[in-house]
Structure 1
Amino acid sequence: MNEKNAKTVARIILGGSLLFAGISHLTVARKAFRAQVPDWVPLKKDDTVVYSGIAEIALGSSLVFTDERRQKAVGKIAATFFGAVFPGNISQYVNNRSAFGLDTNQKRFTRLFFQPVLIYWALKSTNNL
């Protein structure tokens, strides 16, 4: 597989994952996602989960379906989104909130290292790196 095809597959997998996560925000995992919303966010936790779910659906759809001319912009927006939600992962760790099988501090701490991977993935698969 050449690099262009590998990036396309990586972009579609990331987009599909965002679509799944976004739909989960609005349905089956809504309560679990509330555990990641920091207390300092000035919105109701459920509203934050809904809005971030809508954003993930939009970003996922954009990563899957955007034409090549707009992929760089979508990748930068996705990377920014992953950076913006990172405080939620930190909050889950600091406040010892269990969700998504992250039921120990070690698991929650390890999860923190995956956010930079998502940022890199969004940028690399959309030709920003």
Structure 2
Amino acid sequence: MITAGIGHLTFQRDDFQAQVPNWIPLSKDLVVILSGIVEIILGLAMLFLTKYKTKVGIALAVFYILIFPGNIAQYVNGTSAFGLDTDQARLIRLFFQPVLIFLALWSTGTLFRKK
């Protein structure tokens, strides 16, 4: 998450801007910067707020849900970014978002926790 957040702010900024849906009423650059900051915060929270790891896992899963429209927009609009330069590659990418959501919940103990 921290590396992805840094990418938002620096070397992958154009690629992330390509994923921002056109219907978002903010500049694509602002959305990329804000989401990058959120990613860095979530990454740091995963590392240092271990006492709250289930809450951080839920926040991370919600974040992955909120950014999913960007992946859908990339597919629907046929926008090339991150090496995804075919409709097939962009479609396959859509199936990885639920995996990220699952991993965020599983790795933080939110799923399958004992009551």
TM-score bracket relative to the smaller structure: over 0.9
Consecutive unaligned residues in structure 2, runs of 5 or more: none
Q: Which runs of 4+ in 1 moved over 6 A?
A: none
Paired with 1:64 and 1:117, the residues of 2 have a C-alpha distance of: 20
- Partner of residue 32, structure 1: 15
Q: Alignment partner of 1:35: what SS?
A: helix
Report the Cα offset of residue 64 of structure 1.
Answer: 1.5
Aligned: 1:100 with 2:82: yes
In the alignment, the residues of structure 2 paired with residue 111 and residue 65 of structure 1 have an alpha-carbon distance, to the nearest angstrom, of 30
Shift of 1:66: 1.4
Q: C-alpha offsets along residues 68-120 of structure 1, whole Å, 9 cap, x if unaligned?
A: x2000000000000000000000000000000000000000000000000000
Q: Alpha-carbon deviations, 1:19-58, whole Å to 9, x = none?
A: 0000000000101110000001111000000000000000
**Aligned residue runs from structure 1 range 10-29, under 5 A:** 18-29=1-12
Q: TM-score of the superposition, structure 2-length normalised? A: 0.95
Calculate the aligned-residue CA RMSD, in Å. Answer: 0.6
Between the aligned partners of 1:32 and 1:102, the Cα distance in structure 2 is 10
* Structure-1 separation of matches of 2:23 and 2:47: 33
Q: How does 1:80-119 map to 2 (within 5 A)?
A: 80-119=62-101
Deviation at 1:65, TM superposition (A): 1.6
| Residue equivalent to 2:59 | 77
Identity %: 56
Aligned pairs, number = 111
